[in-house]
Structure 1
């Protein structure tokens, strides 16, 4: 076994290049790092459990009422809060998608059904899902989806939200990677908010804040946000994470440069992998799903490069892999290594 349940070198493997975790290759903005360090004077006190200043800034950014926003220890924390607080009896999730949705729901006694994304459709979410929403207490949509990198068209998202609202179904939309698309305002489910919609966002990916841990949920009602807030631990967001988040919200130029960089490098990486005979699936974010020989992950690890094997994703097998879009030299190193592995 060459990787843990998620991307990132959690097992302490001897690697020279880790492309298994989908973090911004440009690194944490200096203003964010400085803000976290400058908060040291208050580390001896408990952090604000309500994240009031951060939530005020998020309200200004999203246009949502401050009382409808809940901050957490990463988006992952808020996934578990939603499952615990709302306690759906039945839920619909996609496959393949991020494994923590099903895990969190099942741990709270929920019966989980899967909507299968088809390889013949490049794993895109289509209108087929509309016929499967009935009977679910919660539906979970990830856009861009992990590990496929595909977004949900705004028109389809609006239809899904309307159907969920009609049925009284909670719609949990994870937008942790939407900042990389450059189309956040067009694609976001915030455009079709109803009382049962919950939109998750993460600072972890776009601002490379994996060690600080920060995410937030925008809920369609104060009642829902109150339930999520009550379900989590009281001091869920540390003082440095709150300070870093406030600083990150002002980094619009950094996000713009990231979007441009990722788009260029993603297209180049996709072309190069395709030229090697690898089946590459379309992506709109900072990672690529592709298909190759099942031994590729082990061979690359032997070369000191770690990518994400996707065999543990429902609907995929050991021939599927996900790689982050890295710096140009890192992407070139990956291409050279894949070429050696396939030639050998």
Structure 2
């Protein structure tokens, strides 16, 4: 049985290669690991519930007001806190996209509407969404989208933000994977005019900190930030996670090397999977969406390799799979395994 809830080997399957979770294949930076260990002396005390030092450094790096930044126990935690704090009556999400948006919103009594991304457009978000924004209180856009890896051009995001501001609609732009693109300035929703924009980012993916859990939201107004900060648990970010985040923000060279590695290996993996007859969709993230025979996931699992089945994503069926972009040896191992599965 393949875990279809999320990526990662949550079921304790006997595998040799896990490509179902989209974490930086370079692993956690040594400076981050050292900062976590060095923080041990303060583990007996409660962590700073306001994450002051981390937020100050984020504000400096991003050129944002510290009072508009909220930190959380991963981006997932912030998704639920945003839904709980703002309680939109109707929300628009894309399909396919990350399932936790819908789950968090439904749990807070929100009516969901789906904007369908079309396969014949490579699942790209287009201006068609503009006509749907006036009928909702919140629009959630993931860029790069999960599981497609498709980014939203800045020009379109500006038009979406302007429409949302005009209608008093919150725009939640989830940029958890934007660090892998190398094009943050051209793509980000940060600094868009208006008070209703919320930009969500994660340390978890880019810095391989899945076990520590750390994310942050940059809000268009201090009022929105205060509402989100007041929702959820008080001590949401542990002391080790805060120390890790502070150290990670200085890892500019690590990020540059990551972007270069991912770009090269994503190109290799896309080319090889296409050559094997898989339908590969364009991506700018550290993962690739592709289409093959529905049995491929189970066959790969028998070979000790776990990829993400996308059959639980709205709009996709059992023939869609998402694989992380790993180190070259891992990508090569996946290609060889897919070849064996399709030849057999």
Q: Scaled by the length of structure 1, what TM-score is found?
A: 0.99
Q: Return the offset for 1:193.
A: 4.0
Match of 2:236 in 1: 236
Match of 1:5 in 2: 5
Three-state SS of the structure 1 residue aligned to 2:321 is strand
Q: Does the alignment pair 1:79 with 2:85? A: no
Q: Cα deviation per residue 1:219-249 (whole Å; 9 max; x = unaligned)?
A: 0000000000000210000000000000000
Q: Cα deviation per residue 1:149-187 (whole Å; 9 max; x = unaligned)?
A: 000011000000000000000000000000000001111
Within-5 A mapping of 1:88-237: 88-237=88-237
Stretches of 4+ moved more than 2 A in 1?
Answer: none
Contact 1:4/1:11 (CA < 8 Å) preserved in 2?
no
Tell me: CA distance 1:193–1:305, structure 2 relative to 1, closer, same or farther (3 Å): farther
Q: Whole-Å Cα distance in 1 between the matches of residues 171 and 304 of structure 2? A: 41
Q: Return the offset for 1:209.
A: 0.1
Q: Whole-Å Cα distance in 1 between the matches of residues 260 and 125 of structure 2? A: 25
Within-5 A mapping of 1:180-329: 180-329=180-329
Q: Return the offset for 1:79.
A: 0.3
Q: Whole-Å Cα distance in 2 between the matches of residues 61 and 262 of structure 1? A: 23
Instruction: Report how many aligned residue pairs link the two structures.
Output: 344
Contact 2:4/2:311 (CA < 8 Å) preserved in 1?
no
Q: Return the offset for 1:61.
A: 1.0
Match of 2:61 in 1: 61
Structure 2 unaligned regions, length at least 5: none
Structure 1 unaligned regions, length at least 5: none
Contact 1:57/1:246 (CA < 8 Å) preserved in 2?
yes
Q: Cα deviation per residue 1:62-97 (whole Å; 9 max; x = unaligned)?
A: 111000000000000000001000000000000000
Three-state SS of the structure 1 residue aligned to 2:135 is coil
Q: Whole-Å Cα distance in 1 between the matches of residues 51 and 314 of structure 2? A: 36
Three-state SS of the structure 1 residue aligned to 2:191 is helix
Three-state SS of the structure 1 residue aligned to 2:206 is coil
| RMSD over equivalenced CA pairs, Å | 0.5
Q: Scaled by the length of structure 2, what TM-score is found?
A: 0.99
Q: Does the alignment pair 1:47 with 2:27? A: no
Q: Whole-Å Cα distance in 1 between the matches of residues 112 and 37 of structure 2? A: 42
Q: Whole-Å Cα distance in 2 between the matches of residues 96 and 117 of structure 1? A: 7
